[in-house]
Amino acid sequence: DGGITQSPKYLFRKEGQNVTLSCEQNLNHDAMYWYRQDPGQGLRLIYYSQIVNDFQKGDIAEGYSVSREKKESFPLTVTSAQKNPTAFYLCASSFTSVQETQYFGPGTRLLVL
C-alpha cells in the first residue's frame, strides 16, 4: 500500500522534554510538509522540505526542528522551547513543491502532561 504514515497516533510530553514525531512516505514524493492544527482551526505550516537535505521554515517554526536525511522520512522535533505544543500535527507530501497536490497522513495528537 502506498501512502503516508505518522507515528505515534498519540504522544505525551512532559514539561521541558523534546519529542520527535515520525513521518514516512513511500509515494516517491520529493516535497514534504509539517502542519499544526489547533482545535476548531485550520492548518498552519511549520516546516517544509522540497528535496533531501533541504528544508525551510514555514509560518510557525519557532520551537520546532526538522531533518530530511532520506527522501522517505521527514521527522519533526517539538522542543522544550515550544511553549504551547498541545495540538494535532499533520504531515503531507507532494511529488514536487511546485503545482502538485499535497496528500496528508493520519496525524499525531500531542498532549502535554
Q: Which of 45, 52, 61, 112 binds other proteins (CB under 8 A)?
A: 45
Which residue in 5, 9, 11 sits closest to 24, CA to CA?
Answer: 5
How many positions of this chain bind other proteins (CB under 8 A)? Answer: 30
8 binds other proteins (CB under 8 A): no
Which residue in 104, 91, 86, 101 sits closest to 10, CA to CA?
Answer: 86
102 binds other proteins (CB under 8 A): yes
Q: Which is nearer to other proteins, 13 or 109 (CB)?
A: 109
Q: Which is nearer to other proteins, 19 or 36 (CB)?
A: 36
Beta strand residue intervals within 1-113, DSSP E:
4-7, 10-13, 19-25, 31-37, 43-51, 54-57, 64-66, 76-78, 87-94, 103-104, 108-112
75 binds other proteins (CB under 8 A): no
Q: Is the separation of the CB atoms in 72 and 84 below 8 Å?
A: no
93 binds other proteins (CB under 8 A): no
Residues that bind other proteins (CB under 8 A): 4, 6, 31, 35, 40-45, 48, 50, 56, 58, 88, 90, 92, 94, 97-107, 109
